[in-house]
Amino acid sequence: MKKQQTQAQAHYCFKQEAGSNIVKLYIYDDVSEYGEFDWWTWEYKESETSAKYFKKALENVSESDTIELHINSYGGSVKEGVAIYNLLKQKKCKEIVAYVDGFAYSIASVILQAADRRIMGLGTSLLIHNMWLSIAGNADDLRKAADDLDVLMESNRQIYLERANVTEEELIDMMNKETYLTPEKAVEMGFADEVDSSKDADPEDAMQAMQQQLQQMRRTMAEQKEFRTELRELYRTAMKKDDEDDTDDEDDTDDEDDTDDEDNNSDEDNNGDTDDTDDTDDNSDEDDTDDDKKKKQKKKTNPKENGRSLAALLAKAAAKNLEKR
């Protein structure tokens, strides 16, 4: 019996119900090689819509399984999308059925072509257009980039032409004009196979990823709130401890001052001591008091002494939060 496997976030989802031979894949975000930037680790998170991620997901699909690919994407990286297309084409399984749940634009429409059956839902659309890139350089660099794009576009068009009912000249014209296609038009021109107009379709499939994304957002917000609360408590604890240490230092200084006063009074009552001796003792007592005050002031203003415990607590809290994430 197969175990259920799910991906936490809704950008991408790999799901297989226990006892079922249907594996569901969701692309509900831009196709990208890199994920979001993680400020905790100072690195990019692994993208859930990259070719590398798809490769790992498809390794869990057996030859007897059917893949349901659900698409709602504006497109994204051509490099990653073409690789995903070929990974799906090369995958040995019972069948690949692709559903357009919203948009299948740009490179997402290319990924759609890898399915054995391409189904577009009501109200969905498909977009085909020429690829583009950002380039900086001199005139020669710009000319070369344009020539390179021509080669890449020629190769990219072959994916559409493999199944579309249009000539290459017609396809070039459509891509130059950035053409949007309704489900009916897409089926007519061979970019899709059928329009899903059944009223008894399972609505949970379309809402699955959205619900997971909402749950993930709630968990993230709760973790951040908990982390901020812990930091505030740790800060209060550290500050309270520093205040108590300062109070102890003040009490010790007061005791030393009282002792010095008693010694001075004793010296004044002693007739056997000379005035010079009294002056020497008084000066010594004043020096000791000054030294104590300097030590106290140094401790208050030394960030290493007062901040060491706080920094350690903050570092511990941050490490704990990273383990949760």
- What tens digit of pLDDT does each residue of 176-215 get? 999 999 999 999 999 999 998 764 445 565 566 556 556 6
pLDDT at 140: 92
Distance from C-alpha of 195 to C-alpha of 147, rounded to nearest angstrom: 38
Cβ burial, residue 109 (10 Å; 0-12/13-18/19+)? buried
Distance from C-alpha of 251 to C-alpha of 190, rounded to nearest angstrom: 89
Residue type present at position 238? A
pLDDT at 48: 81
For residue 117, what pLDDT band results from cuts at 50, 70 and 90?
Answer: very high
Select from 3.90.226.10, 3.20.20.70, 2.40.50.140, 1.10.10.1100 the CATH code of 12-201. Answer: 3.90.226.10
> What residues have CB less than 8 Å from 19, skipping those under 6 apart?
1, 2
pLDDT top residue among 301 and 123? 123
pLDDT at 128 over 80: yes
Lowest pLDDT segment from 41-50, 68-77, 303-312: 303-312
pLDDT at 103 over 80: yes
The token duo for 129 is: 């257009």
pLDDT at 224: 67
For residue 255, what pLDDT band results from cuts at 50, 70 and 90?
Answer: low
Q: Are 76 and 45 in contact (CB under 8 A)?
A: no
pLDDT at 11: 47
pLDDT at 279 over 60: no
Packing angle, helices 78-90 and 139-161, rounded to 10 = 30
Q: What is the DSSP string of 262-307?
A: HHHHHHHH-TTS-HHHHHHHHHHHHHHHHHHHHHHHHHHH-HHHHH
Distance from C-alpha of 189 to C-alpha of 165, rounded to nearest angstrom: 5
Mean pLDDT of the chain: 76
Task: Say which DSSP state 76 is in.
Answer: B
- What tens digit of pLDDT does each residue of 143-178 get? 998 898 888 899 899 999 999 999 999 999 999 999
Give the strand pairing for 22-27 and 12-16.
antiparallel
pLDDT top residue among 231 and 263? 231
Residue range 211-230: mean pLDDT, rounded: 66
pLDDT at 268 over 50: no
pLDDT cut 70: percent of the chain above it: 58
pLDDT at 118 over 90: yes
